[in-house]
Structure 1
């Protein structure tokens, strides 16, 4: 079966997941690729018809697919029998139940899961003092994503029908582990260095950051701890000041410093 068009559907607050799914799509050699960004709320009419093959990419938060990504996939996307490639991107700790959750979700939405990959990115809590997977995905990661894409292409082109596919087996447990706990804090803003440019509000996936003439405010109950606002701030005025994040970052730096390699499932 030859497929000429592809689509990447992604939730990628800090753009790491987007880099990986773009590379997978390049490796698959489509004639054309359309993109559906679920990182932010979208108008339903802006979700275009799906390509012949779909690549769905999400980050991993606490071993799970982020709740916001699940909600938006369910709200906007229907598979209609199309083959789907699953990509989970995690911060060098573990992806635990995320790939299994994503496989089950895309199956529920009417896709046919045909391949999956777990790739590594710099952890969203990483800092210059306590780095966790700095610089990932790096050039080697992108090369492996290209290779993964070409392997998936070869796999599906060798099929006469999608009915020949066996159930895609990926690691994970059911019931799934607990995901992110309810948020009681968020990144904070240094008023002395903040220019009120609004980049933090613009890049917040859950749209809980607001900027006024007097400063930056965040509805902490809606924060998903993705770190997008921190990464987007041009003056580094946005930062973590929560003991819990410092504690987690310290543990990650100490116990998850050994670089992990991407894993693929075909």
Structure 2
């Protein structure tokens, strides 16, 4: 036992491993574990009928459908077009490439409230884009979807870019030499390698969309049973000084988010196992 501890200390990558690990656990506890635990503990003060009334009222259920449905759809669309954008940025040279690459990070840098006001103005019925569309976007569930598309795209692109940069072009050349078409090369050679990163980007975009508030609140319209998102329901409960009700809805969101992330991680592990990684 003493020899094992000595060997571990001798081959530790970071000096002061014990102290660094202690600070890591303390920081994660203060920032992540304690706040999440507080939400669960506050919810446990409610009786089961009170909890069910808080999380399963028709208005709250409608917000679940909109929030999870729009978040999933936006993350799915971003996974497709984020792959295309990452591919273009990595594989091709064209004028203003650096500008396009910088624009991908714009949703990271732009305050969410500014993004929401801008999207609302552009997609309003008299806006630049809204006036030419055959359907209404601002103040509808479609507006929520558009806002979630905007804030989720960078997660997919930035997750895929490093993997594409490390992807050897020799694999594609070897596939073409063996007679594979371009579509077969992409589907059977490239896509399996990209799949873990693609699923990670999808999960990050989905998780980010679930908790988005600032950019959505302006363009949604916040019509009861129509365009209310779940974070707005939590804020409404807090404004009514119903802290247990707010934490109950938050706990439901946390549990469903954890379940979704667990599914994504299992899919990633299955994909890596098939690839022999």
The two structures have a TM-score, normalised by structure 1, of 0.25
Task: Decide which structure has the larger Cα Rg and report it.
Answer: 2
The two structures have a TM-score, normalised by structure 2, of 0.24
Higher relative contact order (CA 8 A, sep 6+): 2
**Greater helix content:** 2
